[in-house]
A = this chain, B = another copy of it.
Amino acid sequence: MTPAAGDLPSAARRLSRLDAFIRRVAAQRACLDHAARLIGDRPGLVLELGLGNGRTYDHLRERFPGRDIYVFDREIAAHPACIPDAAHVRLGDFADTLPAFAREGRRKAILVHADIGSPDRARDARLAAWLGPALAPVLASGAIVATDRALTTVDWPALALPEGVAPGDYFMYRAP
């Protein structure tokens, strides 16, 4: 399968929304797979910010078998087969649930996946600016944060993206 634009008659065509979407989900998967390879058997939780329809949660539990995966979202709208048990769900605004999770005093996270993008870029920028510092208390040393929006208020080094993922398609950081 070739998700690149292909050898169609006119190579100069704009990216369709289908093209952009395939590129985004393929980048997302490539980054999660890359994170799984980088993390290996280092201990820690996995946090999924934005359960959505549960596709990436399903991928995470496949790539991180046996690990505690906690999901955060405003509401559960996922495929029934892709909903964690209640003990691993934190419902509500991230601004409430993430600090509350930190106060629970659980083990730290070795991976956070934050799929927070929306059509509202201004809203996304505010959320991404808030997110980095808010994550710091729940991250293990050297934890990876993979996200579809750049974290603008932390100076964590950006990780090299996996093959085929262009800068800006997705973002990966290594927390201190």
Contacts and interface: CB of A to CB of B under 8 A. Distances in A.
Interface of A: 1-4, 6, 8-9, 13-14, 16-19, 21-23, 25-30, 32-33, 36-37, 54-56, 58-59, 62-63, 79, 81-82, 119, 163-165
Complex copy number for this chain? 2
Contacts of A3: 1, 3, 22, 26, 29
Nearest to A37: B8
A2 B6 CA distance: 14
A119 B81 CA distance: 12
B55 A16 contact: yes
B23 A22 contact: no
B19 A22 contact: no
Q: Is the contact region of chain A dominated by helix, strand, or loop, or is it mixed?
A: helix
A56 B22 CA distance: 11
Contacts of A33: 6, 8
Most buried by B among A25, A36, A82: A25
A175 to B, nearest CB: 23
A2 to B, nearest CB: 6
A18 B33 CA distance: 12
Nearest to A14: B62
